[in-house]
Structure 1
Amino acid sequence: MLSDLWPGLDLRHLAAFSAVARTRSFARAAETLGYTQPAVSQQIRALEKIVGQRLFDRSSGRAEATLTEAGAVLAAHVDALTARLAVARQDLRDLQRGEAGTIRVGAFQSALARILPHVLKRYRAERPAVQVEVIESNDDAPLLEQLKRGALDFAFALLPLDSDSLSHRELVQDEFLLVSKTGEGLPGRIRSVADLGEYPLIVHRSCRSAAALVSYLEARTGTPNIVFRSDDNAAVKEMVRAGLGVALLPELWMQLGGNEGLELTPLTGVVPSRTIVLAWRKDRLLTPAQEAFVNVTTAIVARPRLERVAS
């Protein structure tokens, strides 16, 4: 039982500890919690007595309250406990709401533009009382962090994932394309990854798939000749049209349109595709509304070819 672990332990002790650890100040922690500073100090002293170790260094002359080694260990566990309690609270709220409520979904740019609209159209027809809130990002990494903290219910993301904490449903194998200026005659000349080393390259700046692609090239061709990086779709295409280089972009991204004056060469078998998935916390109890979102997304997106996403 919980009472057998640390007799006398109270959530108020952990709330005070977390606030001091986060703000590095007893005074600022008191402001955050709406307590007096002596009350916060009393909670910390009680917690230190319960765990039997000093948690903060409060030596004279120090401007901030700093965690001891024991305090740092406890802080990591308290953070994990806070995340679990946040998930538990949301699970109970969702259960109470039944078919209504809100689903919070994170999506990176191409998934937001090419996948989510078709998912929402069908989902809203099936579950009109459920609201879907969407959080946007240039990269899936911050979305996955929010997912782990319980701030999101689902996230469109890329493999690999942390399989210990996240479950997923695989959706699309998104192949990379070589994007070149029309008339340069590159289609048919790219037979292996080594051929890419001959060209100045334009790639995404901040997403995980771009980092993985660059690492793949470095391991096989040496340092690639990257002349421009951007997460702006229009800027990348204009750089290619200006003849400054060729771009390596996912097929789903290029389906956003505006490809006049560009030649698109599939790189299937030359560089690995990226796998797009829908992810959620493994320890999350999905409500019927959330299970329906997973099923609708899979039904619409899981197609052999990306052209069928809008079907």
Structure 2
Amino acid sequence: MDVELRHLRAFASVARCRSFSRAAEELLITQPALSRTIAQLEDRLSVRLLDRSSRHVELTATGAGFLVHAERVLATMDQALAAVSRRVSLRLGFSWLLPDPWAQRTISRFEESTGASVALVRTDDPLQALRQRGVDIALVRGDVDVPEGARVVPLADEPRVAVCSENCELARIGRLAWTDVHRWPLVVNTVSGTTGPWSWPADRRPDRIVKTANYDEWLETVAADRGIGIVPEVARRRTRHPALRFVPLTGAPPSPVGLVHFPDAPGALVRRFLEAAVAELPR
């Protein structure tokens, strides 16, 4: 017999609700579609499962017996799907410091709604990991060149702050204007940094650039007083380093943060994560 799970779910819902209209609402389908599905099931079984009237719906004796087996089948299938979901994960690539509390809330919402998990993949170059399909979604900061065919979901703009060594003169001055950054040696994370020579017009760029290849190198180079750094404000709240001082930066453009993915990545999981990500954005 060509009986499908949708037939069993429709029948179990009507039997539980004792109403086609309430069951249709529960299943998120129209009442005529639900009626057709029940009619198909009864036709394929060649039995009458429900007694219908204008006021109520009741199970026939055959329907009551069939319901026991249908609910057992559905419960077993739900258990099987849940077991598979717990073994499914979505890989989120990032280079440093996920935005908070957005990241934690997004991950919780996604995992609770899907049963899948999020694997956090720390990598110096999230976009390269995305190109190589080492991650499903990449969290990126700053203005970046995304891979061809990839899509970007903007999340927010993060304010910038300056950071310097405790021995730097800037620590004593206590504030810095964006237009004056060029007066200082600038330490740049060339792989995943959000600020570099490209952030200013050619005639306003810092004269001295100290290049590093990742966040840890950048942090320790600034701490060693090789130059100052510019970083999203999240670093001030999350970084504890005795040799560093964070300094207010006035007039700086914000740093964009977003999610990058390929449309052909595991569609349902990526879509559900993006929905959770947008839902957790500050209003």
Normalised by the length of structure 1, the TM-score is 0.51
Q: CA deviation at 1:118?
A: 4.0
Distance 2:185 2:266 in 1: 48
- Measured on the aligned residues, the alpha-carbon RMSD in Å equals 3.6
Distance 1:242 1:152 in 2: 33
Q: Which of residues 147, 150, 157 is equivalent to 1:173?
A: 157
Match of 2:188 in 1: 203
Q: Which of residues 232, 245, 266 is equivalent to 1:250?
A: 232
Distance 1:228 1:284, change over 3 A: closer
Q: CA deviation at 1:114?
A: 7.1
Match of 2:262 in 1: 281
Note the alpha carbon deviations across 1:234-290, whole angstroms, 9 max, x for none: x544544454432222223333220556442343533x4331112222355731x43
Distance 1:114 1:164, change over 3 A: same
Distance 1:238 1:163 in 2: 30
Distance 1:201 1:137, change over 3 A: same
Structure 2, unmatched stretches of 5+, are 1-80
Distance 2:205 2:270 in 1: 45
Match of 2:124 in 1: 138
Match of 1:106 in 2: 93
Match of 1:225 in 2: 208
**Contact kept in structure 2, 1:187 and 1:265, CA below 8 Å:** yes
Distance 1:209 1:246 in 2: 14
Distance 1:237 1:214 in 2: 18
Bigger-Rg structure (1/2): 2
Distance 2:235 2:211 in 1: 17
Structure 1, unmatched stretches of 5+, are 1-96, 305-311
Letter in 2 for 1:185: R
**Contact kept in structure 2, 1:106 and 1:137, CA below 8 Å:** yes
Letter in 2 for 1:108: S
2:125 is paired with a residue whose SS is coil
Distance 1:140 1:266, change over 3 A: farther
Q: CA deviation at 1:221?
A: 2.4
Distance 1:239 1:160 in 2: 23
Distance 1:185 1:121, change over 3 A: same
Letter in 2 for 1:176: R
1:277 is paired with a residue whose SS is strand
Distance 1:163 1:226 in 2: 27
Distance 2:144 2:231 in 1: 19
Normalised by the length of structure 2, the TM-score is 0.55
Distance 2:181 2:148 in 1: 36
Q: Percent identity?
A: 17
Q: CA deviation at 1:131?
A: 2.9
**Contact kept in structure 2, 1:175 and 1:268, CA below 8 Å:** no
Match of 1:23 in 2: none
Runs of 4+ in 1 over 6 A off after TM superposition: none
**Contact kept in structure 1, 2:140 and 2:258, CA below 8 Å:** yes
Letter in 2 for 1:253: A
